[in-house]
A and B are shown apart, each in its own frame.
Chain A
Amino acid sequence: MAQYRTQVKIIADVLSTARDSNTAGVGVGVTTLLRKGNMSYNRMSKLLSELVGSGLLLEVNGEKISKYRISDKGMQFLAAYSSFEDFAQSFGLRL
């Protein structure tokens, strides 16, 4: 059965993609984030500017397009998210 993602889950998904798909170390493009994040371009653009604004993502300006890298603060957020997701799941809840 389909489950709605909470806002915090969406943020964690985007940050995870930025961390895991950044194999070359030059950042991840919006297309990759869109494909794995499963959301519209407008919504993703708004979310990306929020995440960059809050310091969870770093914007790397390339020649043509911007790419995104996860920051140390973003890594901390993912670690905390993982711990608290585990905690909530123990009580049978979702974050």
Chain B
Amino acid sequence: MAEFGHHAFIRESGFAARTLAAIAGMEQVTDILQFIGVFVSFSIAYVSYRGVRQTQSSSLLRLATAFVFLGFGFLIEGFVGLGQLFPSVSLTATAVVVGGLLLETTGYFFLAFSHAVDVVLSKKMGTALLVFPIISLSGAQLADVLSILSFYFVLYGVVETLYSYSHSRKPDTLLIALGLSLIGSGTFFQWLSFLYQDVGVLSLLQIILQEMGLLMLFTPVLRFAVGGVKVDGPV
């Protein structure tokens, strides 16, 4: 019986080791997955910028700005991940990580700000309140603060997008709201991973949710690519 228990322990230890190795391997894959976020963000920024050139729309300008910041944020995070794959390239400095997070948070801020300005223009002030989180800075690290700020900005974007969907009933708007929800969940898990110093499962969840959400945001851009909408040159 004792021998059976010993074998079971070895089997379980082997399973745990394989699981950890798999997680480590997946982490490396997810570091590369960051570049999907870079591609999606810059694609959305490009289409939005084309829209700005053709229609002079300030909403699209804010959207383009948001995704330029997000794109550069993801790019830095991607390079930090690659730096971990190649230890000779030391890109894991805290300042670089915080810089990437700062860019991301700024991107999410512009995303929320686009909605806030839209709300003010349409006079529906009831939903215009950006509820900022109460953050205790004592002992909190900058990365924690940035990720929880990102979470609140995305959450605000989700609420406003759902409100917009209740008026327009466009399936694409609902899809974007769902995508933003996934990104929001991702930023929440990112905050948890910073909080508990966990770079395993939580980070993995964060990146998977974030990439799934970003791919959903890519749908309107695909319409331009597949639908063959001409977006070249100002009218």
Q: Are B121 and A95 in contact (CB under 8 A)?
A: no
Partner of A1, one of B56, B58, B123, B162: B123
**Known contacts A73-B235, A77-B235, A84-B60, A4 near B176 by CB under 8 Å:** no
Q: Are B122 and A95 in contact (CB under 8 A)?
A: no
**Known contacts A80-B235, A84-B51, A88-B51, A95 near B59 by CB under 8 Å:** yes
A92 adjacent to chain B (CB < 8 Å): yes
Partner of A87, one of B58, B220, B235: B220
**Taking chain A's interface residues, is the majority helix, strand, or loop, or is none over half, making it mixed?**
helix
Residues from 74 to 90 in A contacting B, C-beta threshold 8 Å: 76-77, 79-81, 83-84, 86-90
Q: Are B47 and A87 in contact (CB under 8 A)?
A: yes
A93 adjacent to chain B (CB < 8 Å): yes
- Interface size in chain B (residues, C-beta < 8 A): 42
21 chain-A/chain-B pairs, Cβ below 8 angstroms: A1-B122, A3-B121, A3-B123, A4-B123, A73-B235, A77-B235, A79-B230, A80-B54, A81-B55, A84-B50, A84-B55, A87-B60, A90-B220, A91-B173, A91-B176, A92-B161, A92-B162, A92-B177, A93-B114, A94-B121, A95-B59
**Taking chain B's interface residues, is the majority helix, strand, or loop, or is none over half, making it mixed?**
helix
Partner of A91, one of B161, B224, B235: B161
The distance in angstroms between the C-alpha atoms of A56 and B123, with both chains bound, is 31
A2 adjacent to chain B (CB < 8 Å): yes
CB within 8 Å: A-B pair count: 102
**Known contacts A8-B55, A81-B55, A92 near B160 by CB under 8 Å:** yes
- Interface size in chain A (residues, C-beta < 8 A): 26
Knowing that A89-B172, A95-B57 touch, tell me 17 more A-B residue pairs with CB under 8 angstroms: A77-B55, A81-B55, A83-B224, A83-B229, A84-B51, A84-B57, A84-B60, A87-B224, A88-B51, A89-B170, A90-B172, A90-B176, A91-B173, A92-B115, A93-B60, A93-B115, A95-B55
B6 adjacent to chain A (CB < 8 Å): no
Q: Which residues of B contact A42 (CB under 8 A)?
A: none
A6 adjacent to chain B (CB < 8 Å): yes
Closest 7 CB pairs of A and B: A92-B164, A92-B161, A90-B172, A84-B51, A90-B220, A3-B122, A77-B235
Q: Mark B113-140, 1 if CB is under 8 A from A, else 0.
A: 0110010011110000000000000000
B165 adjacent to chain A (CB < 8 Å): yes
Q: Which residues of B contact A84 (CB under 8 A)?
A: 50-51, 54-55, 57, 60
Q: Mark B92-126, 1 if CB is under 8 A from A, else 0.
A: 00000000000000000000001100100111100
